[in-house]
Amino acid sequence: MNKKTAERIVTLIALLGILALFTYFLKDIMIPLFKMELNNDVEGAKALLSAKGIYGGIAVALIEALQMVVIFIPAEFIQVTSGLSYPFIIALLLCDAGVCIGATIIYLLVRVFRFEAAKSREDAKRIEQIAADRKENNVSMLMYLLFITPVIPFGAICYFASSRDIRYRRYVLTVATGVIPSIVTSNLIGAGVRSFIMSSIPLWVLLLIILFMMGVLFFMLWFVLDKVFFKGKDKTPDSAMYFIIKTFVPLWRKRYQRLHIDGEKLEGLQSPFVLLVNHVSFYDFFYVEELLKAYNAAYVINHHIFMKPVIHTIFVKCGMIPKRILCTDAAALKIMRTVKAGYPVVVFPEGRLSPDGRGSAIVEDAAALYRRMGVPLVLANISGAYFTNPKWRKKFFKGDVYITARREITPEELKTMSVEEISETIDRTIHESREDIVVNYPQKDRAKGLETILYRCADCGKLYTTASYGCDLICTACGAVHHLDEHYRFTDELCDIPGYYDKIKAMEKDALSDGINLEAEVETVIFADEKPKKRKEKGVCTLNRDAFTYRSENIQFEIPTEKIPALAFSGGEEFELYHGNELYYFYPLTDRNQCAQWSLIIDLLREEREAIEKSENAD
């Protein structure tokens, strides 16, 4: 008999002994406990364990071990139950012993019998990704990192670690110490529930205990990540804060849509690079993050959002890049510094959300910058996201979203292309949406909020008379009704939302030939980088062919329309622009749907100037 066969026989005998132990406790304790777990009967589990005495304690350890081996069984129930049933130290030792027993079984199954759980294979891919992001090759350190990040089951971590180069002594020591924070939290919550049941503490104290323990656990997670695993990486995409966001945000967002990712063009691509992508919905950043799972990228973010108190701290720690939307500022220098440091940078070159789903014009031409940086330029497209969460609706509808890396332009190719060719390629590629996407939206309020974009009746031409009722867009002046079917298409000759929007655009274009003179009394909110950061006042905005003007008791300024390439707005709420270093939000006091009109007029004036310039260049 060779050594390997002998090891397998000894291991098999040991596993059979453990199985016999499980069987002994199975009928009277473990099966009833599992039934209570399914019914979330914590009080019944507590009574059962108390009645069984020392056998109940052994059962806790065995169940904890089983929940390690069988990954999909959650361990929190038995940990809370043990905290309810036993003194804190005893509960901690029982759970930790159970984890170590389960980890040992996994180690033997993987090392001796080459066993691999199907669920573990899925989690192993995620662990490999985390290891790649963190550039962590030390298995023990990686295990600690994963144990304090409550995303991947403990059993899956052990299956992964057992298949790597790590000695049993270090492996089991890492397991025994790495799971303590999680067990302590669950046990203390159980102890708090026990005190509440015994009427020793009121409900509000129990809630405070739970919140406090969650806060302590998060602080421990943050401290260990920031001071140990990600030391020296603060304010970069390799920081602890970025890791936490990248780990937890998918758990929050994934259930809300069916995401389809095509990252073939990214295979083998090394950092750094710049990725440009269209911007059609509020959650585009999440779709891009899923596309770039293998990379830690810096995002160019709206300066106003970037400067909000808590968000500012988070974004600075993540190495994000603030940019004043639709304005020239120092963001280009920050992008170049980030790329030079070796990180990918993600840019939404449109600078604003699309009003009709087809994409907005790219009004800030940065083609020369991209060519000068000497790194690959990746062009991507998001399709299907517009109807899940468009500019005109706050409610999220679940649907199919496709994000595709369409093209990589190498630094060598960029050098051979003119600035105009690069700009045209960017515009064409990121706006090349998929036409084959057909999604059903069964919701009964599909048209809600649409009047904030389609502000003029496509039939009678009246302003601000459209209103949404369920799935219908109705004109209150002429009574015209346009019905949206389950595919978000109109059931008449207008066909779809872009078709309706084009009808309005044609009307506004005809009106431009006779001149334009918009005026609105507004409530103004002004944001500044320095103190006071925010102030309010009332004033009047006017817009003609030549200039945008704002006047109030305190301020008066005029901006030539040629200096306003586009006007960002929130449908039915406000339109906004920068003057100097201050951001002005203008809220019309009447007919707030006119915000879309102000933005469209600015777009038409820009298109008119571009057409004239193109004609002159052709001559």
Mind listing the pLDDT tens digit for each residue in 326-380? 888 888 899 999 999 999 999 999 988 899 988 888 888 888 999 999 999 999 9
- Comparing C-alpha atoms, which of 487, 534, 518 is closest to residue 605? 518
Lowest mean pLDDT among 164-173, 280-289, 418-427, 515-524: 164-173
188 or 266: whose pLDDT is higher? 266
Write the pLDDT tens digit of every residue in 297-316.
Answer: 999 999 988 888 888 888 99
- Comparing C-alpha atoms, which of 115, 29, 100 is closest to residue 67? 100
Task: Measure the CA–CA gap between 156 and 140, rounded to whole angstroms.
Answer: 14
Q: Model's pTM, two decimal places?
A: 0.75
Q: Please, what is the average pLDDT of the chain?
A: 80
Write the pLDDT tens digit of every residue in 167-179.
Answer: 888 888 888 887 7
Write the pLDDT tens digit of every residue in 420-474.
Answer: 999 999 999 999 877 777 788 888 999 999 999 999 999 999 999 999 999 999 9
CA atoms within 13 A on the CB side of 555: 18
Write the pLDDT tens digit of every residue in 106-158.
Answer: 888 787 766 665 555 666 667 776 666 656 567 777 777 777 666 677 778 88
Mean pLDDT score, 248-262: 74
CB 196 within 8 A of CB 190: no
3-state secondary structure 72-97: CCCCHHHHHHHHHHCCHHHHHHHHHH
195 or 229: whose pLDDT is higher? 229
pLDDT at 526 over 80: yes
Lowest mean pLDDT among 9-18, 83-92, 295-304: 9-18
Task: Measure the CA–CA gap between 427 and 95, rounded to whole angstroms.
Answer: 58
Model confidence band, residue 494 (pLDDT cutoffs 50, 70, 90): confident
CB 265 within 8 A of CB 405: yes
Lowest mean pLDDT among 25-39, 56-70, 145-159: 25-39
Q: What percent of the chain has pLDDT over 90?
A: 36
What does DSSP assign to residue 272? P
Amino acid 55: pLDDT: 62
CB 499 within 8 A of CB 490: yes
Model confidence band, residue 159 (pLDDT cutoffs 50, 70, 90): confident
Amino acid 161: pLDDT: 83
- Domains located in the chain, CATH noted: 3-197 (no CATH), 240-430 (3.40.1130.10), 450-506 (no CATH), 517-618 (2.30.29.30)
Lowest mean pLDDT among 19-23, 464-468, 532-536: 19-23
Amino acid 13: pLDDT: 53
